[in-house]
Structure 1
């Protein structure tokens, strides 16, 4: 089958979720999600697939919807970014949240702790590991 006729696919390879373009090029879905601000409509535009086909690809590959995966991916990225020193507001904006309140609510609902408290816990954990806590 010529490369131009290869189907759009989502595959898992080496623990990473990849979108395979008809040309054969593989793009990490996490990168695509970030570029598209975690919006399904923008991902569909970028990949030139319909929302229905995107749902089918996710269902076949992961057994979950794109919306569920985007929420999971966004929260994993948020948790990792919070280990740095960027402001909570800037992190929320970077992840495509409409407001700091929206970011806070979704993070708290997902992890059962707010982003500021999570960051404080991580700092305390590091200090304890270094033997610097009381």
Structure 2
């Protein structure tokens, strides 16, 4: 198995999928969980971690965390509530989502959304 970067993102290449599987879609469908991704790919977590680190340069948990938070930022801009987003992104609770968002971005999601909408109304894109 190999993980390669394409113009549209990362793809998992394996004999079962010669054209590759979109890693971001696989992550979303698997609830951003390494174990679930490995189940879908039919490989062990240790093998997947080795391949991922070799090909992507970071561990799968870190990459999945980053992707989950990017998805959170995109969905927050659409107006979704934090509690709905926590469920959608597979967090055990809204509190877990709020904590992780605050650790990564330094503020809670509602505060981030207000800053982004304020920047958008000024037209300068400062917080995008």
User: TM > 0.5 between the two?
Assistant: yes
Asked whether 1:64 is paired with 2:58, we answer yes
Q: Which runs of 5+ in 2 are unaligned?
A: none
Structure 1 match to 2:3: 10
Q: Pick from 7, 12, 27 the counterpart of residue 19 of structure 1.
A: 12
Distance 1:104 1:21 in 2: 36
Q: Indicate the RMSD between aligned Cα atoms, in angstroms.
A: 1.4
After TM superposition, the score normalised by the length of structure 2 is: 0.90
Deviation at 1:25, TM superposition (A): 2.9
| Cα distance in 2 for residues equivalent to 1:12 and 1:70 | 15
1:12 and 1:41 map into 2 onto residues whose CA distance is: 22
Give the number of equivalent residue pairs: 123
Q: Unaligned stretches of 5+ in structure 1?
A: 1-7
Aligned to 2:110: 116
Structure 1 segments (4+ residues) deviating >6 Å: none
Cα separation, 1, equivalents of 2:5 and 2:70: 17
